[in-house]
Amino acid sequence: MAALAAFGGGLAASFHFDDYAILSDPVLTSPSGWMEVWRPLQTRPLTWFTFWANYQLGGRQPLGYHAVNLALHLAAALLLLEILGRWMPPRAALIGAVLFAVHPIQAEAVIYIFARGTLLATLLCLLSLRAWMAGRRWPAVAWFGIALLAKEECVAFPILLLFWHLVDRRDRAERPPLAVMTLLSLAAGARVLAALAANPGAYAGAQAGISPGDYLLVQGVVLWRYARLLALPWGFTVDPEINATGAWAGWLVLAAAAAFALWSARRSRPAFWALGALILLAPSSSIFPASDLAADRRMYLPMIALAASAGLLLRRLNAKALATAAVFLVILSAGRCQTWRTERSLWSEAVARAPGKVRPRIQLARTSPPAEAEKLLLEAAALAPEDPAIPAELGRLYLTQGRAGQALAQFGRALALRPDSPQALGNRGLALLGLGQWAAARQDFERALALDPCLFDARFNLHQMGVRTPAPASCRYSDQQLLLLRDGR
């Protein structure tokens, strides 16, 4: 009931940001796509399978997608309550489960449809943990293997079980299944690296725009940001501005705290589970870089360990104080749902809380009237004059207003900043087409296809010009796109 009160408002939210990739993926929009999501280099195939099912049942209506996310969160909260109740006092178990269910740091994972992989992986890891605690070790291995198919960020889960094994259980029968789970994690990690290498448009690993060392350093600030939001749940934003100043000091303090927790883990269950949360957070907050330096949704899986720690620490507080705190968290989470209802409210908050970042302004511009959008994009250009995404966005804005000459100038700047971009070439070709320069436009479209033979917009624009170019068999176009190419309109 508390979780429904906290996050039920998310059912009315729209799509956001990467959610639109679901609607444009030709595999998910195809009736036979349920088989294609299991191809070897598809990351998170189980999650994409659920997206496929959502699309087949509800199409482009966001309600069904949000309902599945909310159901997964409710199931995870109830399962965590059952698991905690097996080895801690009922009062502590309830406190921990309620904290997991209603804390506003969970809002991004629950309401952001694209974060479903995190919800699925956490639920499956909880099923694995329940089986492990019951002595059913090989079923626990199976559940964990399925969790890796939902999202590979859970690769550190066997390390948590190993830590538990070393600190407390020391049952030799646990070692073979632990070894298999570790091998599964290594295989999942290798598969992610292979998929990133095959997908040059990804924003992780070597393509994240930040080195592993720099990413690791800045996490010294990010981890303390997470800790602050847990203790003082205010100041959330979908795209925070991270300042690396003081990152070394952050890591030193964190290392000291982790060392103390490790020293006291045998005697203190809260310390054990606090250290367990750091273990679960390590895959996304260590040396594997991502373009988003911080994201609240990454705290969802570690929250199962933090909830256990908090439940044990807070169990002696009186019921009135605990109930007041729970109501306060529910209200804050409900407020987060209101922020997530529309893209405009979400990105308006992001611009206000990260005034030095470019992406929130670009995203807000896409939801704004033309005059306001132009102002936002010009502000973004002043912040990052070398970012090709800004003139590309300005060019699209001018093109929709019939200002083809100004669009051409902006698309030309974007191409100058990124000469090898097929999208930039295709955009410039579109502006040239608007100015009646057909020969130059055709040349840009053809150059774009030479760089990316599957770029749909360039191929469609050529078809519109009467230039038929057969698509390679490897191109994955949706049925709607194929229909457009066939009919030429």
Query: How many residues can be counted in the chain?
Result: 489
Per-residue pLDDT at 200: 60
Strand-pairing partners, residue 204, are 290
Q: Give the separation between CA 226 and CA 6, rounded to whole angstroms.
A: 20
Per-residue pLDDT at 203: 67
* Token pair of 356 as six digits: 């030095």
* Token pair of 385 as six digits: 């004059």
CATH number, span 358-487: 1.25.40.10
Question: Using an 8 Å Cβ cutoff, are 351 and 367 in contact?
Answer: no
> Which residue in the block uniquely carries the two structure tokens 């399925």?
146
Question: Using an 8 Å Cβ cutoff, are 230 and 105 in contact?
Answer: yes
Q: Give the separation between CA 402 and CA 108, rounded to whole angstroms.
A: 37
Note down pLDDT in tens along the chain; length 489 residues. 999 999 999 999 999 999 998 888 878 877 877 888 888 778 899 999 999 999 999 989 999 999 999 999 999 999 999 999 998 999 999 999 999 999 999 999 999 999 999 999 999 999 999 999 999 999 999 999 999 999 999 999 999 999 998 887 678 889 999 999 999 999 999 988 888 776 766 666 666 778 899 999 999 999 999 999 999 999 999 999 998 888 899 899 999 999 998 898 888 899 999 999 999 999 999 888 888 999 999 999 999 999 999 999 999 999 999 999 999 999 999 999 999 999 999 999 999 999 999 999 999 999 999 999 999 999 999 999 999 999 999 999 999 999 999 999 999 999 999 998 999 999 999 999 999 999 999 999 999 999 999 898 999 899 888 888 888 887 877 767 777 777 655
Q: Specify whether the backbone of 478 is left (phi greater than 0), alpha (psi in -120 to 50) or beta.
A: beta
Comparing CA positions, the residue from 278, 268, 276 lying closest to residue 226 is 278
Q: Give the separation between CA 33 and CA 50, rounded to whole angstroms.
A: 11
Residues 292/296/299/304 CA torsion (nearest 10 deg):
-160
Each domain of the chain, given as residue ranges in start order, spans 2-209+296-344, 358-487
Q: 158-180: string of b/e by CB count within 10 Å (b at 16+)?
A: bbbbbbbbeeeeeeeebeebbeb
Instruction: Quote the Cα angle for 426-17-366, to 5°.
Output: 60
* Token pair of 79 as six digits: 């399962």
Question: Using an 8 Å Cβ cutoff, are 423 and 392 in contact?
Answer: yes
Q: Give the separation between CA 438 and CA 458, rounded to whole angstroms.
A: 13
Instruction: Quote the Cα angle for 368-369-373, to 5°.
Output: 60
Dihedral (CA of 353, 354, 360, 364) sign: positive
